[in-house]
């Protein structure tokens, strides 16, 4: 039921969470810390947006590609529908820009199928 609701929420906003699969992005990643740094390097919050927080959950294949579609597990917005579309599009674009990760075979074996979460916030809500 949750999957249906997340898909419904995205479709209402007119957003398709399609992560393209292309050549690995960036230098080789060999640790979870490097993985986080690589993923966050692509996040560029939309300017002039009201307070928001969005948590997504996703997994990787052993080659660094995103496995399936990212799922929204939490979201809160203070802006209008158009602002929500911008925020969600920016989040999905940042994940798309950084994947597939250029993971080493060792890290690829360790992360394959594991669930990862990222929480995106507006610049005004960061500490």
Top-confidence residue, 21 or 2: 21
Q: Copy the structure tokens of residue 123.
A: 């610049």
17-35 pLDDT tens trace: 444 457 788 889 999 999 9
27 exposure class (CB count in 10 Å sphere: 0-12, 13-18, 19+): exposed
Measured at the alpha carbon of residue 15, what is the angle toward residues 38 and 120, in degrees to the nearest 5? 40
Range of the domain at 99: 2-125
Q: What is the pLDDT of residue 26?
A: 84
| Number of structural domains in the chain | 1
pTM over 0.95: no
Mean pLDDT computed over 81-95: 92
State the pLDDT confidence band at 124, using cuts at 50, 70 and 90.
low
State the pLDDT confidence band at 1, using cuts at 50, 70 and 90.
very low
State the pLDDT confidence band at 5, using cuts at 50, 70 and 90.
very low
State the pLDDT confidence band at 118, using cuts at 50, 70 and 90.
very high
Say if residue 97's pLDDT is above 70. yes
């Amino acid at each position: 039921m949750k999957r249906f609701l997340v898909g419904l929420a995205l479709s209402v906003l007119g957003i398709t969470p399609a992560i393209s699969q292309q050549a690995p992005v960036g230098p080789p990643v060999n640790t979870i810390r490097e993985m986080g740094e690589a993923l966050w390097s692509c996040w560029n919050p939309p300017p002039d947006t009201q307070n928001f927080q969005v948590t997504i959950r996703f997994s990787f294949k052993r080659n660094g590609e995103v496995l399936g579609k990212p799922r929204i597990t939490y979201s809160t917005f203070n802006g209008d529908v158009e602002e929500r579309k911008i925020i969600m599009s920016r989040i999905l674009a940042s994940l798309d820009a950084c994947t597939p990760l250029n993971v080493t075979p060792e890290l690829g074996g360790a992360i394959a199928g594991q669930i990862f979460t990222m929480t995106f916030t507006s610049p005004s809500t960061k500490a």
